[in-house]
Amino acid sequence: MSLAADILGWAFILAGSFFTVVGAFGLIRMPDLYTRLHASGVLDPFGVSLILIGLMFQAGFTLVTVKLAFLVLLLLFTSPVACHALARAALHREVKPLLDDERSSSSKR
Amino acid sequence: MFAAAAIALVVALALTVARALLGPTVFDRVLGANTIGTLAVCLMAVYGFLTERPEFLDVAIVYAFLNVLSTLAILKFFRFGSLGDPEDDEPAPRLETRP
Amino acid sequence: MRHVSLIVALAAFWVLLSGVFTPFLLAAGLGSVFAVVWFADRRMKVLDVEGHPSHLSVRALTYWPWLLWEIVKSGWDVTKRILHPRLPISPCLVRVPTSQQTNVGRVIYANSITLTPGTISLELTEGEILVHALTREGAEGLATGDMDRRATAFEAAL
């Protein structure tokens, strides 16, 4: 039981580290602001939450686990709010999104 | 193994700082700052495990709150504040001059 | 009802974060909890359907796991696209209709869209959401309305 939790925790931590680094790499690689927001969506709630869930498995069943769970919930609630506020502020400041082509069913501002 | 996660987080932090420094628009920099905050929260939690000091988690929780609040405050400033287009600015109050 | 659930949540929050059970700290926690509830209810007037949607808590047990699985799936998809040498992205803007009745439901839907990597809700207006999608497949997946239906069912709890 303890060993299984240990292995599961390490798997979560390694997966989270992988997604975090990939998200940061995407932050550098993506061409414009809005696509960078997508890359940060891989990093910000997803990879970081996986690392924290892995730490929860490592901590056993203590108060530390509860604090980590609270931290995960907090990140999952606040990060889309910040992301949406960022995208909306950029849209209102007339930062034009880079679109693939005009065939998309889009309606430009 | 906690060290591996810490190294991954530091690498991600370096890339994010690069984006915050490069970022052509101010929103790229805000995105970088927000992501740096989130990564710092996670790094604090991992560092607490690395050094067997769970008190770092309390700091991490407070920092997570501060992170999102500061991001929203900065964005609100850039959305409604006086930085940006000069046309949006309210005219400066004109002083009454006595003839 | 909302008062009770807020009091229980805040008390659990205090106890779990402190982990110290001396009488002084427990009394201080009790005082803080009631002060916060009084402030939220009487002064700020946020203890309502929007401020503390406790009626949604039961349905969240079915909605959140589904949403988490969606996040994992689309996160893996975006990861593959970031690491792909040719960067196969096709960003596009779409307008997605919303079928929710209340503001809480709309915000839940918009936040779910933003939370899944690959789609971001840019602007929330009456009856529709302007969505920026990283790929056209993501936009089409959103246009099927599966998440919309689930968010509506979630909102209609109780």
Q: What is the CA radius of gyration of chain B?
A: 20
Q: Please, are residues A1 and A65 in contact by the beta-carbon 8 Å criterion?
A: no
Decide if A87 and C116 are in contact by the 8 Å CB cutoff: no
pLDDT tens, position by position, C103-129 = 888 888 888 888 888 888 888 888 888
Q: Which pLDDT does position C31 carry in this prediction?
A: 92
Residue C28 and residue C72 share a domain = no
Residue C85 confidence (pLDDT) above 90:
no
Q: Number of A:C CB contacts under 8 A?
A: 111
Instruction: Say whether residue A11 is in contact with chain C using an 8 A CB cutoff.
Output: no
pLDDT at B86 over 80: no
What is the phi-psi region of residue C97: left when phi exceeds 0, alpha when psi lies from -120 to 50, beta otherwise? beta
Share of chain C above pLDDT 70, in %: 99
Question: Number of structural domains, chain C?
Answer: 2
Question: Region C37-54: what's the mean pLDDT?
Answer: 78
Interface of A with C in 45-104 (CB under 8 A): 45-46, 63, 66-67, 70, 76, 79-81, 83-84, 87-88, 91, 97-101, 104
How far apart (Å, rounded) are the C-alpha atoms in residues A109 and C35?
46
Domain boundaries, chain B: 2-80
**Above 90 in pLDDT, residue A3?**
no
pLDDT of A108 > 60? The answer is no
Supply angle C-alpha C96, C100, C104, rounded to 5: 110
Contact B16 A16 (CB under 8 A): no
Q: Is B11 exposed, middle or buried (0-12, 13-18, 19+ CB in 10 A)?
A: middle
Which domain, by its residues, includes C132?
Answer: 56-155
3-class DSSP state of B99: coil
Query: Is the per-residue pLDDT at C16 higher than 60?
Result: yes
CB contact under 8 A, A81 and B25: no
**Token representation of residue A7:** 């292995």
Residue of B14, B13, B22, B33 lying closest to B78 (CA atoms): B33
What is the 3 state secondary structure string of chain C?
CHHHHHHHHHHHHHHHHHCCCCHHHHHHHHHHHHHHHHHHHHHCCCCCCCCCCHHHHHHHHHHHHHHHHHHHHHHHHHHHHHHCCCCCCCCEEEEEECCCCCHHHHHHHHHHHHHCCCEEEEEEECCEEEEEECCHHHHHHHHCCHHHHHHHHHHCCC
* Chain mean pLDDT for chain C: 84
pLDDT at B94 over 50: no
CA atoms of B72 and B78, how far apart (whole Å): 10
Per-window interface: A 15-74 vs B, CB < 8 A: 16-18, 20-21, 23-25, 27-28, 33, 36-37, 40, 43-44, 48, 51-52, 54-55, 58-59, 64, 67-68, 70-71, 74
What is the pLDDT, as a whole number, of residue B13? 92
Residue C88 pLDDT > 90, yes or no?
Answer: no
Structure tokens at A101: 């082509």
- Please say whether the beta carbons of C112 and A76 come within 8 A: no
What's the pLDDT band for A103 if we cut at 50, 70, 90?
A: very low
Which backbone phi and psi does A60 adopt, to 5 degrees? 75, -160
pLDDT confidence of residue B40: 92
ipTM above 0.95, yes or no: no
Contact A82, B33 (CB under 8 A): no
CA distance A35 to chain B (A): 11
Q: How far is CA C119 from CA A24, B25, C122, C133, C134, in A?
A: 18, 21, 9, 4, 6
Q: At C117, list the tokens.
A: 């990597």
Residues C76, C113 share a domain = yes
Residues of B in contact with A68 (CB under 8 A): 45, 57
Residue A101: HSE in the Cβ half-sphere, 13 Å Cα cutoff: 2
pLDDT at residue number B80:
67
Kindly state whether residues C63 and C36 are assigned to the same domain: no
B9 contact residues in A (CB cutoff 8 A): 17, 20, 51
Q: What is the pLDDT of residue B36?
A: 92
Per the structure block, which two tokens stand in for A19? 């997604």
Tell me the C-alpha distance between C113 and C96, whole Å.
Answer: 10
Same domain for C135 and C60?
A: yes
Cβ–Cβ below 8 Å for C94 and A46: no
pTM above 0.90, yes or no: no
DSSP single-letter state for residue B51: T
When comparing pLDDT for A77 and A99, which is higher? A77
Task: List, for residues B11-70, the tens digit of each pLDDT value.
Answer: 999 999 998 898 788 888 888 999 999 999 999 999 988 888 878 888 999 999 999 888
Whether residue A109 is predicted with pLDDT greater than 60 in this model: the reply is: no
User: Which pLDDT belongs to residue B39?
Assistant: 92
Whether B46 and A81 lie within 8 Å, measured CB to CB: no
Q: What percent of chain A has pLDDT over 90?
A: 11
What percentage of chain A has pLDDT greater than the value 70? Answer: 90
d(CA C39, CA C92): 44
Statement: residue A106 has pLDDT above 80? no
Quick one: pLDDT band at residue C153, thresholds 50, 70, 90? confident
- Return the pLDDT at C84: 85
